[in-house]
């Protein structure tokens, strides 16, 4: 029996890979594009308006219509935390249709988990992942508001 879990993660210079300040690596991509060459993900989070077709790796769906915000923000936050935790030793990808708005927003939220200040997270992702990441003003606000610590 073969263990499918990676112990090294993504190659830092592979297409779509974002290096967080801690050194953790995540891959963002658009599912309407072909799968990039190289190893497959160990785990993926798919940020789509409709449930995706089954994949040959473990995955999680977050209902998130295009150009909008997640339908269930608690579920989205849980998914971001799971991605951040798992990318220490697994190849984790986040993907929406085009790999920009929803994917960029999720990556920015995960960057905040990794220590990037909320006010700088969108800029960080645009600089290190893609200059068109996080497409709408409400997606930018989502990153800022989502990142505020709970007062519970």
Note whether 81 and 113 are within 8 A (CB): yes
Distance CA 84, CA 103 (A): 14
DSSP H or E run through 26: strand 25-30
Residue 136 sits at φ, ψ, to 5 deg, of -120, 160
Instruction: Say what the pLDDT of residue 146 is.
Output: 76
User: What pLDDT digit, counting tens, does each position of 110-142 carry?
Assistant: 999 999 999 999 999 999 999 999 999 999 999
Q: What is the pLDDT of residue 5?
A: 41
* H helix and E strand count, the chain: 4, 5
Instruction: Report pLDDT for 148.
Output: 54
pLDDT digits (tens, 9 = 90+) for 22-42: 999 999 999 999 999 999 999
pLDDT digits (tens, 9 = 90+) for 57-107: 999 999 999 989 999 999 999 999 999 999 999 999 999 999 999 999 999
Could you tell me the domains of the chain? 17-146 (3.90.190.10)
Q: So what's the pLDDT on residue 97?
A: 97
């Amino acid at each position: 029996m073969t263990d499918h879990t990676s112990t090294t993660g993504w190659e830092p210079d592979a297409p779509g890979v974002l290096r967080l300040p801690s050194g953790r690596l995540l891959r963002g991509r658009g599912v309407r594009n072909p799968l990039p060459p190289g190893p497959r993900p160990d785990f993926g989070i798919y940020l789509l308006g409709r449930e995706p077709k089954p994949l040959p790796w473990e995955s999680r769906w977050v209902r998130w219509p295009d150009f909008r915000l997640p339908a269930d923000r608690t579920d989205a936050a849980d998914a971001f935390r799971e991605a951040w935790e798992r990318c220490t030793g697994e190849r984790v990808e986040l993907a929406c249709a085009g790999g920009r708005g929803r994917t960029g927003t999720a990556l920015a939220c995960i960057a905040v988990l990794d220590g990037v200040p909320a006010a700088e997270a969108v800029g960080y992702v645009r600089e290190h992942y893609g200059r068109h990441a996080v497409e709408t003003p409400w997606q930018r606000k989502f990153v800022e508001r989502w990142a505020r610590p709970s007062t519970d």
